[in-house]
A and B are shown apart, each in its own frame.
Chain A
Amino acid sequence: MATMQDLATPEANTWCPRCGNFGILMAAKRAIIQLGLKREEVVAVSGIGCHGKMTDYIKVNGVHAIHGRVLPVATAVKLANRELTVIGFAGDGDAYNIGMGHLSHAARRNPDVTYVVHDNLVYGLTTGQTSPTSKKGFRTRSTPRGAFETAINPLTQALASDASFVARGYAGDMHHLTELLKQAIAHPGFALVDVLQPCVAWNRVNTYNFYGKRVYKLEEAGHDPEDLSQAYERALEWEDRIPIGVLYGVERPAYRENFPFLEGAPLARQKLDIADISDLLKEFA
């Protein structure tokens, strides 16, 4: 079982002071500790952007992948070794722009992978351009006249793709986010946790103050996470009240159950011998 000290890396943190990423990093570490996981049992997969440093800042196994491709990598790691707990971390640019295609496909495949999206509604590391979750009219260096496009709603996207677990967290409520991540990791299928993450450098609209006034907890609002139509309704709320918690959560067979030979020792641990192909060759004789 890992401790806070076990999960610390020698890397100096380079995020802006008060960045929402700190809350997500802390919640992820706490979730790992509270679930009783050892650090070698966890694989973190991160994309490109400010969030990408997650693999530098949590001492677990890690793949710091390329932009937008967290889900294919994470899906394959889990198939190769089902004993590993696989947590993907991505930014809103990663997850909902360049890597958007993978979200629907991961959702319908349902691999036992958790997908944490650091959603700050803006591009941070590339110094302030519009993001797919930026609201229409949002002014950035790339949209001086305001964003022309309507914003993507990641929650309805995931619901429409038949995701078996869809949740929203808030980086400003670390305790709540920790509980949410624990549920997402424990969920035996694909779990999306979209995390509202204030960006102190580039987003002066969606601040701690903005969210603090609006977020409310679904578990305190009588929400039924097994009711898809309720989940859609909650997913559409934004202007005055923003729900956090589990919008939708049902159990569906995990993707690996399609491969009965994955039920024994993990593929990665099976010894490789020259396969006997003599039976296979008969077809060609």
Chain B
Amino acid sequence: MKLVGISGASVSFLVGGEAGQGITRSGSLLGKALMRGGFHIFGANDYPSVIRGSHNFYVLNVSDEEVHSQADTVDLLLALNRETVALHVDELTEGGGVVYDEEVELEKGELGRSGPGLYPVPMASIVNEIGGPAIMRNTVALGAAVALVGFDIEILKAVISDTFEGDVAEMNNSAAEMGYYYAKEEYGEGFGCRLEPSEERPNRIMLTGNDAVALGAIQAGCRFYAVYPMTPASPILHYLAAHDLDAKMVVIQTESEIAAMNMVVGASYAGVRAMTATSGGGFSLMTEAIGLASMTETPVVVMVGQRPGPSTGMPTYTSQGDLLFAIHASQGEFPRVVVAPGDVEECFYRTMEAFNLAERYQVPAIIITDKYLVESHKSTDPFKPGRIGIDRGDLITTEEWTEEEYRRYEITESGVSPRILPGTRGATVLANSNEHGENGYTTIDPWEVVAMVDKRHRKGDALKREIEGLRPVEVYGPDDAEVTLVGWGSTKGPALEALKVLQGEGVDARFVQIVYLEPFPSEAFAGVLQSNSEFILLEANRTAQLGTLIKLHNGFAFEHVELKYDGRPFNPGKIAGRVREVA
């Protein structure tokens, strides 16, 4: 395996064109081929909420070490239309190149800079020659890109064969091959980047946050998934619907998010691990049933993939604007879990953890992610099945129950009342949205009410103690760093890439990731604050919502705040620049 980059230890590609030209698919095919060749990849898409037309692009960052986000610049631009060149030429690295269809006549001068190498490829005529549809031009471009960086076309062809079927696979393979040989003969090793594959295929997977959440749910024994389609969470539905028989999971597309969350409550009450996923708008509709889950002490898991709001906002872009909403959603006071994974691996393990916490404390568990995290591809080590087990908490099985009278909401020291499955001989299992006594029947008795409210909140206290022990605050970099970046969720990726840059420059910085936002791990975070470091808050929202939580729970106010709310992910270079200013 050998990597030669223009600007350091990575090579970045941008595939761009119109919606409907298969941009994300192309980018991820190239990513998977490069992963199989021994590299690490990170791929992110950018697209508007339309089916055809309009500009789409996919950026792919490739490195010989783990890569956490897109790069700031583009080394090789694969332009499927002229617009792509115009829109992205300024992102090209000095010495970068542009692969485009020779039908588009580009002059070096019109690009306004001296740098880019121009690599026209007869995409349309190759596709015509093999009798393929116009969309297949993207595969020709991939073949050409593989040639320009000295990668192995056979690996790309194998990925194509694994992805498509029959004639489509064959035609795409021809397209890739013809693009490859054309570029190889025309341009040889003229392009400045090299990505030569390793001999052996690494044991690695490439997937999105959505894939990882879906796999985490399957591994955690989730057997019921009721959902209403909403970007960016819909791919979980597509994946689970395609695997429902293997996973023995009831997958239902409901009439609304209201129905979805109420179904999850119903399935969980009956004893099945159940989940749903949505974005902010759908979560707004779910809030009443989140309250139902909390009052009836029914475990539920929901993934909220944030996108910019309010209202419809920008449906296909990213945001961290729903943190305080997730923490406060639904009327009344009750304990809940809000956990924010920062990459695909965490999406998998923290989803499993969310199911355990939801059942052990009989509370709603909200996995808060965003479009950037759940739709971007990342290469990672295969998930280990035994790392997190299944813990259903205090659940009495039907066979174990011998008592005569069951009290669903028995007052206990921990606040957790043993659950029992409806259908158990001699037990009447009640779930009551009204305030209730220990037996589950409705009450307005002030003493009973206070006892029940206190019982529920004791669960919250215990939950907080447990969360402090679940690595709720992850620290990347030295404890005595001069500058500390603090963030949550998907900002982890660009922040870690920024640290790479800074490390190369000898700037001493670290990144602190708050993984659990509710209950807030104030003790773990207090440990981080024991430092003379300068702190910078990093959030993809307008009002610094994590900053609000930290002020509330730790009494600490950030002097430096870096906020981004244009719907696009953070750039590592921008973060690094801010650290340099503060250092």
Contact check, A72 vs B383: say whether CB atoms are below 8 A apart: no
Stretch at the interface among B6-14, B90-98, B248-256, B460-468: B248-256
| Bound-complex Cα distance A39 to B425 (A) | 9
Contact check, B258 vs A72: say whether CB atoms are below 8 A apart: yes
Cβ of A81 < 8 Å from any Cβ of B? yes
Beta-carbon contacts of A242-285 to B below 8 Å, as 1s and 0s? 00000000000000000111100011111011111111110011
Q: Which residues between 44 and 80 of chain A lie within 8 Å of chain B, taking CB atoms?
A: 45, 48, 53, 55-56, 59-66, 69, 71-77, 79-80
Cβ of B274 < 8 Å from any Cβ of A? yes
Cβ of B568 < 8 Å from any Cβ of A? no
Known contacts A61-B423, A76-B267; A273 and B221 CB within 8 A of each other: yes
B430 nearest CB neighbor, chain A only? A62
Contact check, B248 vs A277: say whether CB atoms are below 8 A apart: no
Known contacts A39-B428, A267-B223; A285 and B205 CB within 8 A of each other: yes
| Bound-complex Cα distance A79 to B204 (A) | 37
Contact check, A75 vs B266: say whether CB atoms are below 8 A apart: yes
Cβ of B215 < 8 Å from any Cβ of A? yes
**B439 CB, min distance to chain A CBs, angstroms:** 8
By a CB distance below 8 angstroms, the chain A residues around B421 are: 81, 268-269
Contact check, B221 vs A274: say whether CB atoms are below 8 A apart: yes
Contact check, A261 vs B273: say whether CB atoms are below 8 A apart: no
Contact check, A56 vs B441: say whether CB atoms are below 8 A apart: yes
By a CB distance below 8 angstroms, the chain A residues around B260 are: 72
Contact check, A281 vs B382: say whether CB atoms are below 8 A apart: yes
Cβ of B304 < 8 Å from any Cβ of A? no
Contact check, A285 vs B204: say whether CB atoms are below 8 A apart: yes
| Bound-complex Cα distance A21 to B528 (A) | 61
The interface on chain B, measured as residues whose beta carbon lies within 8 A of the other chain's beta carbons, has a size of: 70
- Which of B267, B389, B441 meets A11, CB within 8 Å? B441
- Which of B211, B254, B288, B389 meets A105, CB within 8 Å? B254
Cβ of A36 < 8 Å from any Cβ of B? no
Cβ of B374 < 8 Å from any Cβ of A? no
- Which of A64, A72, A74, A284 meets B442, CB within 8 Å? A64
Known contacts A280-B218, A281-B382, A284-B207; A268 and B255 CB within 8 A of each other: no
Cβ of A222 < 8 Å from any Cβ of B? no
B248 nearest CB neighbor, chain A only? A261
Contact check, B270 vs A277: say whether CB atoms are below 8 A apart: no
| Bound-complex Cα distance A11 to B256 (A) | 35
Contact check, A60 vs B383: say whether CB atoms are below 8 A apart: no
| Bound-complex Cα distance A231 to B517 (A) | 56
Cβ of B132 < 8 Å from any Cβ of A? no
Contact check, A84 vs B422: say whether CB atoms are below 8 A apart: yes
**A237 CB, min distance to chain B CBs, angstroms:** 30
By a CB distance below 8 angstroms, the chain B residues around A267 are: 223-224, 248, 250, 267, 271-272
Cβ of B262 < 8 Å from any Cβ of A? yes
Q: Which residues between 1 and 55 of chain A lie within 8 Å of chain B, taking CB atoms?
A: 9-11, 38-41, 43, 45, 48, 53, 55
- Which of B245, B255, B383 meets A102, CB within 8 Å? B255
B265 nearest CB neighbor, chain A only? A73
Cβ of B427 < 8 Å from any Cβ of A? yes
**B536 CB, min distance to chain A CBs, angstroms:** 34
By a CB distance below 8 angstroms, the chain A residues around B226 are: 72, 76
Contact check, B250 vs A274: say whether CB atoms are below 8 A apart: no
Cβ of B365 < 8 Å from any Cβ of A? no
Cβ of B125 < 8 Å from any Cβ of A? no
B431 nearest CB neighbor, chain A only? A63
A79 nearest CB neighbor, chain B only? B250
- Which of B265, B288, B433 meets A76, CB within 8 Å? B265
Known contacts A64-B442, A76-B265, A274-B389; A284 and B273 CB within 8 A of each other: no
Q: Which residues between 414 and 452 of chain B lie within 8 Å of chain A, taking CB atoms?
A: 421-434, 439-442
| Bound-complex Cα distance A104 to B263 (A) | 16
Cβ of A219 < 8 Å from any Cβ of B? no
Cβ of A149 < 8 Å from any Cβ of B? no
- Which of A56, A76, A104, A275 meets B224, CB within 8 Å? A76
Cβ of A144 < 8 Å from any Cβ of B? no
By a CB distance below 8 angstroms, the chain B residues around A73 are: 262-263, 265-266, 269
Contact check, B256 vs A10: say whether CB atoms are below 8 A apart: no
Cβ of B386 < 8 Å from any Cβ of A? yes
**B247 CB, min distance to chain A CBs, angstroms:** 7
By a CB distance below 8 angstroms, the chain A residues around B211 are: 284
| Bound-complex Cα distance A163 to B250 (A) | 22
Beta-carbon contacts of B234-258 to A below 8 Å, as 1s and 0s? 0000000001111110100011101
Give 21 A-B contacts (CB < 8 Å), ordered by A residue: A9-B441, A56-B442, A62-B429, A63-B296, A69-B289, A72-B226, A72-B254, A72-B259, A72-B260, A77-B267, A77-B269, A77-B422, A80-B224, A81-B270, A81-B421, A267-B223, A267-B248, A267-B250, A274-B221, A274-B386, A280-B218
Q: A38-B425, A272-B390, A274-B221 are in contact. List 6 more A-B contacts (CB 8 A).
A: A40-B427, A63-B430, A69-B289, A76-B265, A79-B224, A281-B215
Pairs of residues from A and B, 6 with the lowest C-beta to C-beta distance, nearest first: A76-B266, A268-B271, A80-B270, A72-B262, A73-B266, A272-B221
